[in-house]
Amino acid sequence: DIQMTQSPSSLSASVGDRVTVTCRASQSITNYLHWYQQKPGKAPKLLISAASSLQSGVPSRFSGSGSGTDFALTISSLQPEDFATYYCLQSYITPFTFGPGTKVDIK
Amino acid sequence: QLQLQESGSRLVKPSQTLSLTCAVSGGSISSGLYSWSWVRQPPGKVLEWIGYFYSGTTYYTPSLKSRVTFSVDKSKNHFSLRLTSVTAADTAVYYCTRGDCTTGVCPLDYWGQGALVTVSS
């Protein structure tokens, strides 16, 4: 199985901060990497697919980058509604695997 | 707008079988452009992909393969999950999802609201 790691596991930030979350795969997954936002009691929401494609309706302050084994999700200016847990998912090889998540909370 | 809705037993006794159904509206599960997956999340823990069916193929994650079965009813536009011999470790929120394979990378783009299934006597 491909192992996905994320860092940091949690971070505290203020509204307006620039935030970056990273995701690393145990082997190359080319661009088969997707980012999700999950709020308590809700289903994950797809933000970015194929490493860098912003989903329709997702604010442009979210961006994704990377390929191969190293990826990043950046929020350019953190907004109050962005406090949540962020997960990466690889769909390159079955079984698909998620990262352990990064919780972003208010400083 | 595509919608997915899980239904089924929310309380299951240990050693019994967990059964959930995902009703899909606003789109057809017969389309070969999409995959249909189950994902679970134990309370306070991370997401785990259980498996999918896609283009005539069904795949189960190895850790659950001996206990899980997917089925599809195209006439009702729904698909189902059965997990046998459950234990407390199977207590989780179970999500049904769609994978958009139109570009090949298959992100899970639509999710049901989730169904909390508790395994307890």
DSSP-derived letter for residue A51 is: T
Kindly determine whether residue B47 and residue A95, on different chains, have CB atoms separated by under 8 Å.
Answer: no
Q: Place A57 in a pLDDT band, splitting at 50, 70 and 90.
A: very high
**How do residues A72-89 score in pLDDT, each as one tens digit?**
999 999 999 999 999 999
Q: Check pLDDT > 90 for residue A54.
A: yes
Q: How far apart are the first and last CA of chain B?
A: 39
Q: Check pLDDT > 90 for residue A107.
A: no
Q: Distance, in angstroms, between B86 CA and closest chain A CA?
A: 21
Backbone angles phi, psi at A81, to 5 degrees: -80, -5
Q: How far apart are CA A103 and CA A71, in angstroms?
A: 17
pLDDT, position A42: 97
Q: Is B48 on the interface with A (CB under 8 A)?
A: yes
What string of pLDDT tens digits covers the 121 residues of chain B? 999 999 999 999 999 999 999 999 999 999 889 999 999 999 999 999 999 999 889 999 999 999 999 999 999 999 999 999 999 999 999 999 999 999 889 999 999 999 999 999 9
- Cβ atoms of residues B9 and B23 within 8 Å: no
Q: Is B79 on the interface with A (CB under 8 A)?
A: no
Cβ–Cβ pairs < 8 A, chains A and B: 60
pLDDT, position B55: 87
Q: How far apart are CA A99 and CA B1, in angstroms?
A: 28
Average pLDDT over chain A, rounded to an integer: 97
pLDDT, position B43: 95
Backbone angles phi, psi at B89, to 5 degrees: -65, -15
Burial class (CB in 10 A: 0-12, 13-18, 19+), B112: buried
Q: Distance, in angstroms, between A42 CA and closest chain B CA?
A: 7
Is the preceding omega at residue A100 within 30 degrees of 0, hence cis? no
Q: Check pLDDT > 90 for residue A106.
A: no
Q: Which residues of B touch A55 (CB under 8 A)?
A: 109
pLDDT, position B56: 85
